[in-house]
Structure formats: structure tokens, C-alpha cells
């Protein structure tokens, strides 16, 4: 708890016409959650304007309000700022006593591989007797708890509270995903990163960023803020994929020392003698004159990149290279990423979170390397998201497989049939079918599967819901695939 005046004194500028100095007990940006003594932030959102809920917040006991314009008929202090979101980030950090100064914080950004890399980092740290926390697409996780999150990178007040709880429970290092949306909207403003990791950049989120240049710039903001307001005696480090075409755009954004990683170019941490098979990958991880062999169960060249990114981040966080290699060897995999569904069926099912052109291409190319039979793909594209990736993803699925089932992902508020039509524009031949219901598409793919075929079910990975309209329905690709195999078995037995 802090007094209002002390909280607003952390802002670079504000207008306050009240002399009151109430005790602030909590921070809220949703009027429906406001309780007695809260500070309410009016955020002008994409759907509604939080300023319209100021009176509701005041009626629910808010002690003061932060807004971007004067508000009429409100009889609690209203502090005017230029950006409520940025002010919220700075005040949240202050309210929770700057928790990121007390933690080693590793931020991971890039189009693909963030969730995977943060989990690799978590594994390495756990094996090295550290107490890691994770924040990302799947959850906020620490001390045996998994707390659901609404966004990959939560809003600043959720984030700072999370850091604070983590620090209190003894977490020493946090690996978090930092999305381009969060960077652009200032959700991580006021957060003190020790290590910033760039995995890669390829097409996604053009609905939001407009162009690849703007998208790259947003990712670069993580590197621009690296070392700002830095805790004494600590040195920030940037970990950057040197093989990525956007390396220069990212590297130029920071004054911090850089550790590069890669396979093709001369990187600081690099993988040599890379060998990939169905069971996983093996390579030699080299840094300076140190070389360690690595064998891991994650497969595909993209997994080697994720391993190198995690290795470099952990190395920058004082974990020796040999320990890193050992931890990578015993990692089982990350939920919904290249996850196999095997219940003794004579073909294979892989569930993967590929929901961008690049990730789909990577996963299918990996599958092609060891496929003994046909490859089929069940794939859709999310609604209310980048429309331009839809035909591209469909085309990649067609080019790199034998048969495609175009289906729904999370249609959200869009018409699923319209999304499918846009995907279909990318198809050149006729080896595909359109089945709107994802469940029916998975069942059809399983029903038609031949011996040794590999069915890739792409796009939803670990998700346990499907968002149709604004409603989340329970849906888990892995469970539906199992149901399909079992149902097909029953049909076969009935036929005999």
C-alpha cells in the first residue's frame, strides 16, 4: 500500500488539482474489479473507452483515478496524464517496490519459439538449483503454481504484481515472453530486464503492426529498454539470433553487450555437426574454445535454435555450458509443441502450435525429413488476427504435404466460412478438403489415415478451448485426436 502522491511522483509529468493524498490499496484497470481504496486507470481500449467507467469505479470505492482527460461529476482525485497505459506501467512498478530490480529477468521475444525457449530456460535453471518463474502464453508459473493469464505478456499491473509475488516466494530468475503487442502498448514499460533474447522474425500480426518494418521495430523495443534504470553492479546482455535476416534491425537497438547464437554464421554460441532424426537432434555446442556434445529429444533445426537461445540466456545468467548441455538432454518436450499422440495406431499424429507461415513450414519440413508414408495436415487460421497469413499458410500446407484438411482454428468473431475461403485462395491443386468443424476434420483425417502416415494437427497446440464468437468451448486437439482413433477402432471392429 502506498499514498497517491508518492505513486504519482514516479511519473515524468501529470496534472493534479487535488490536495488529497489517499492510501492506495490496490490497482485496477477494469471498473468491474474495483474495490475500496483502489486506484483506477481509465484506458482507452480497442473495444470500449475505460473513461466511460470512471463513475462506476468511483461508486465501487476507488480512492483516485488516472485519466487522459478531465472527468465530470467525479468527486475523488483525478490525475491527468498523457498516456494512462504508460502511467499504469510506471505506477505499477512503483506500487510493488520495483520487483524486477530484485529478480534476474530474461525477456524472450521473436515471432516463433518464445514459449519453447522460456521452458528450456526453466528446465536448465531448475536443474541448476535456481528457483525460476515463467510468464507467457500458457500461464504464469512459479513455486509449483500455474496461474492462468489472458495475454502472453500481461498488462503491466498484472505483470508487476506477478513479479512481486514471485520475488516474495523466493523466485530468483524469471523467463518471460515479451510480445510485440506488449512492447508497443507499453505493458513492459518500467520493467528492468537483465537479458533480452531475440529468437527470429517472420510474418505474423500484420493486422496490428501493418508492416514487417513496424513489427521488427516493436520487437526491437525490448532491446532499446535493456539496461534502462538498471540495478547496481549488474550488466545487461542481449542474446540475438545471428542467422535471422532481422539481426541488424535488432542489434542496432541496444547498447548492451551482445551474445550471438546460430548455426550458419560465426556465432558466439553455435551448433556444429547438427544431426536430426525422428527421435530428436544432436549437435556440438561451441563457445570460444569450449565444446560440449548435446543430444535432445526436441527435433527439427528450429529446436536447435531454441536450444541455443536458451543456452545463451542461461550462460548470461551464470550457468556453465556443461550443465546447460546436460539439462537439454533430459528435457521431455513442451506441451502442444510437436507433441505426439500415440495410442498404438498404425500411423502417427503430431499436435503442434504452428500458427504462422514460418512455423508451419519449419514443422512440415522437419516431418518430411523422416516421414515413411504420406503426410496430411489439419490446419486453420485464427479469426480477428492477421488475414494476410491465411492463403500463405494454406499454400505451405499444400506444398509440403500430400493432403490438407482446411478447418477452423479459433474463429473468434469472424465468420469461419469466410476465413476458410481466404485460406482456400492459397490452394493451387485439389488435394484438400474443407471441413468447418475442427472435430470433424480431425476425425476425417484419422478415418482416412494410411499405415505410416503422419497427420499434423497444427495451430492450437496446448490450447484447451476453441473460441467461437466470444464463447470459449472446451476443445483439445490431443483429446479429440485420441477420441478419433478410438472411434475408428470401434468402427473397424464392428465391420469385422
Ligand X SMILES: CC(=O)N[C@H]1[C@@H](OP(=O)(O)OP(=O)(O)OC[C@H]2O[C@@H](n3ccc(=O)[nH]c3=O)[C@H](O)[C@@H]2O)O[C@H](CO)[C@@H](O)[C@@H]1O[C@H](C)C(=O)N[C@@H](C)C(=O)N[C@H](CCC(=O)O)C(=O)O
Binder among 321, 363, 367, 378 for ligand ATP (CB under 6 A): 363
Q: Choose the one of ligand API, ligand ATP, ligand X, none that binds residue 116, judging by a C-beta under 5 to 8 angstroms depending on kind.
A: ligand ATP
Query: If binding is defined by CB under 6 A, does position 462 make contact with ligand API?
Result: no
Query: If binding is defined by CB under 6 A, does position 92 make contact with ligand ATP?
Result: no
Query: If binding is defined by CB under 6 A, does position 470 make contact with ligand X?
Result: no
Query: If binding is defined by CB under 6 A, does position 299 make contact with ligand ATP?
Result: no
**Among the residue ranges 214-222, 366-374, 433-441, 457-465, the one whose residues contact ligand API (CB under 6 A):** 457-465
Q: Give the residue carrying C-alpha cell 509440403.
A: 400
Could you tell me if 426 and 397 are in contact, meaning their C-beta atoms sit under 8 angstroms apart? no
Positive/negative CA dihedral, 315, 317, 320, 324 = negative
Q: Is 153 annotated as a binding residue?
A: yes
Query: If binding is defined by CB under 6 A, does position 254 make contact with ligand API?
Result: no
Q: Is 21 annotated as a binding residue?
A: no
Contact mark string toward ligand API, 396..435, x via CB under 6 A: -------------xx-------------------------
Q: Choose the one of ligand ATP, ligand X, ligand API, none that binds residue 200, judging by a C-beta under 5 to 8 angstroms depending on kind.
A: ligand ATP
2: which 3 cell numbers? 502506498
Contact mark string toward ligand ATP, 183..222, x via CB under 6 A: ----------------xx----------------------
Give the side-chain half-sphere CA count within 13 A for 436: 9
Q: Choose the one of ligand ATP, ligand X, Mg ion, none that binds residue 443, judging by a C-beta under 5 to 8 angstroms depending on kind.
A: none
Give the side-chain half-sphere CA count within 13 A for 239: 29
Binder among 19, 150, 344, 470 for ligand X (CB under 6 A): 150
Give the side-chain half-sphere CA count within 13 A for 162: 28
How many of the other CB atoms lie within 10 Å of CB of 332? 9
Q: How far apart are CA 61 and CA 438, in angstroms?
A: 45
Query: If binding is defined by CB under 6 A, does position 113 make contact with ligand X?
Result: no
- R_g (Cα) of the chain, nearest Å: 24
Q: Is 385 annotated as a binding residue?
A: yes
Comparing CA positions, the residue from 385, 410, 419 lying closest to residue 469 is: 410
> What letter would DSSP give residue 22?
P
Q: Choose the one of ligand X, ligand ATP, Mg ion, none that binds residue 339, judging by a C-beta under 5 to 8 angstroms depending on kind.
A: none
Q: Is 118 annotated as a binding residue?
A: no
How many of the other CB atoms lie within 10 Å of CB of 382? 19
Query: If binding is defined by CB under 6 A, does position 130 make contact with ligand ATP?
Result: no
Positive/negative CA dihedral, 414, 416, 421, 427 = positive
Query: If binding is defined by CB under 6 A, does position 116 make contact with ligand ATP?
Result: yes
Query: If binding is defined by CB under 6 A, does position 395 make contact with ligand ATP?
Result: no
Binder among 19, 32, 266, 429 for ligand X (CB under 6 A): 32
Residue whose CB is less far from ligand ATP, 8 or 400: 400
Query: If binding is defined by CB under 6 A, does position 100 make contact with ligand ATP?
Result: no
**If DSSP codes are grouped into helix, strand and coil, which group holds residue 166?**
helix
Q: Is 210 annotated as a binding residue?
A: no
Q: Choose the one of ligand ATP, ligand API, ligand X, none that binds residue 409, judging by a C-beta under 5 to 8 angstroms depending on kind.
A: ligand API
Could you tell me if 488 and 479 are in contact, meaning their C-beta atoms sit under 8 angstroms apart? no
Q: How far apart are CA 335 and CA 443, in angstroms?
A: 22
Q: Is 100 annotated as a binding residue?
A: no
Binder among 41, 193, 283, 305 for ligand ATP (CB under 6 A): 305
376: which 3 cell numbers? 496430411
Query: If binding is defined by CB under 6 A, does position 355 make contact with ligand API?
Result: yes
218: which 3 cell numbers? 516493436
Query: If binding is defined by CB under 6 A, does position 181 make contact with ligand X?
Result: yes
456: which 3 cell numbers? 499434423
Which alpha helices (DSSP H) does 2-155 contain, by range?
4-8, 54-59, 84-95, 114-127
Give CA torsion, residues 218, 219, 224, 228, to 10 deg.
Answer: 100
16: which 3 cell numbers? 493534479
Q: Residue 290: left (phi > 0), alpha (psi -120 to 50), or beta? A: beta
Q: Min. distance of Cβ 392 from ligand X in angstroms?
A: 17
Which alpha helices (DSSP H) does 66-195 contain, by range?
84-95, 114-127, 156-168, 180-185
Residues that bind ligand ATP (CB under 6 A): 112-116, 137, 152, 177, 199-200, 302, 305-306, 337, 352-354, 358-359, 362-363, 461
Annotated binding site: 31, 110-116, 151-153, 179, 187, 385, 409-412, 459, 463
Residues that bind ligand X (CB under 6 A): 29-32, 43, 45-48, 50, 53, 150-153, 155, 179, 181-182
Amino acid at each position: 500500500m502506498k499514498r497517491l502522491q508518492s505513486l504519482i511522483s514516479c511519473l515524468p509529468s501529470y496534472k493534479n488539482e487535488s490536495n488529497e493524498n489517499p492510501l492506495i490499496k490496490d490497482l485496477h484497470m477494469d471498473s468491474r474489479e474495483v474495490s475500496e481504496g483502489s486506484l483506477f486507470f481509465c484506458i482507452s481500449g480497442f473495444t470500449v473507452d475505460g473513461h466511460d467507467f470512471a463513475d462506476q469505479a468511483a461508486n465501487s470505492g476507488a480512492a483516485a483515478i488516472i485519466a487522459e482527460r478531465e472527468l465530470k461529476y467525479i468527486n475523488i482525485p483525478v490525475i491527468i496524464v498523457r498516456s494512462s497505459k504508460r502511467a499504469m506501467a510506471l505506477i505499477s512498478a512503483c506500487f510493488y517496490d520495483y520487483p524486477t530490480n530484485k529478480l534476474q529477468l530474461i525477456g524472450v521475444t521473436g515471432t516463433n519459439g518464445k514459449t519453447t525457449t522460456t521452458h528450456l530456460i526453466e528446465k536448465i535453471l531448475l536443474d541448476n538449483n535456481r528457483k525460476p518463474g515463467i510468464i507467457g502464453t500458457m500461464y504464469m508459473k512459479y513455486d509449483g503454481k500455474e496461474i492462468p493469464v489472458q495475454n502472453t505478456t500481461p498488462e503491466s499491473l498484472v505483470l508487476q504484481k506477478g513479479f512481486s509475488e514471485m520475488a516474495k516466494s523466493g523466485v530468483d530468475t524469471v523467463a518471460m515472453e515479451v510480445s510485440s503487442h506488449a512492447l508497443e502498448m507499453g505493458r513492459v514499460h518500467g520493467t528492468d530486464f537483465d537479458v533480452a533474447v531475440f529468437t527470429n522474425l517472420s510474418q505474423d500480426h500484420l493486422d496490428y503492426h501493418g508492416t514487417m518494418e513496424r513489427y521488427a521495430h516493436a520487437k526491437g523495443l525490448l532491446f532499446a529498454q535493456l539496461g534502462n534504470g538498471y540495478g547496481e553492479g549488474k550488466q545487461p546482455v542481449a542474446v540475438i539470433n545471428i542467422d535471422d535476416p532481422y539481426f541488424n534491425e535488432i542489434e542496432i537497438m541496444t547498447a548492451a553487450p551482445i551474445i550471438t547464437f546460430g548455426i550458419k554464421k560465426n556465432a558466439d554460441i553455435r551448433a556444429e555437426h547438427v544431426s536430426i532424426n525422428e527421435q530428436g537432434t544432436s549437435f556440438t555446442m561451441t563457445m570460444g574454445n569450449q565444446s560440449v556434445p548435446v543430444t535432445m529429444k526436441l527435433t527439427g533445426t528450429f529446436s536447435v535454435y531454441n536450444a541455443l537461445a536458451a543456452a545463451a540466456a542461461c550462460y548470461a545468467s551464470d550457468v556453465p555450458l556443461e550443465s546447460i548441455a546436460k539439462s537439454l538432454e533430459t528435457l521431455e518436450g513442451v506441451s502442444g509443441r510437436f507433441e505426439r499422440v500415440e495410442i498404438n495406431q498404425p500411423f502417427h499424429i503430431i499436435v503442434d502450435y504452428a500458427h504462422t507461415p514460418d512455423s508451419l513450414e519449419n514443422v512440415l519440413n522437419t516431418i518430411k525429413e523422416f516421414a515413411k508414408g504420406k503426410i496430411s495436415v489439419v490446419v486453420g487460421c485464427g479469426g480477428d488476427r492477421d488475414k494476410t497469413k491465411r492463403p500463405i499458410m494454406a499454400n505451405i500446407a499444400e506444398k509440403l504435404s500430400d493432403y490438407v484438411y482446411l478447418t477452423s482454428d479459433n474463429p473468434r468473431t469472424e465468420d469461419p466460412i469466410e476465413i476458410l475461403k481466404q485460406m482456400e485462395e492459397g490452394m493451387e491443386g485439389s488435394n484438400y478438403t474443407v471441413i468447418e468443424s475442427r472435430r470433424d476434420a480431425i476425425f476425417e483425417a484419422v478415418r482416412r489415415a494410411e499405415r505410416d502416415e503422419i497427420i499434423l494437427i497444427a495451430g492450437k497446440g496446448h490450447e484447451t478451448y476453441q473460441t467461437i464468437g466470444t464463447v470459449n468451448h472446451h476443445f483439445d486437439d490431443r483429446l479429440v485426436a485420441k477420441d478419433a482413433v478410438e472411434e475408428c477402432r470401434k468402427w473397424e471392429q464392428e465391420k469385422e
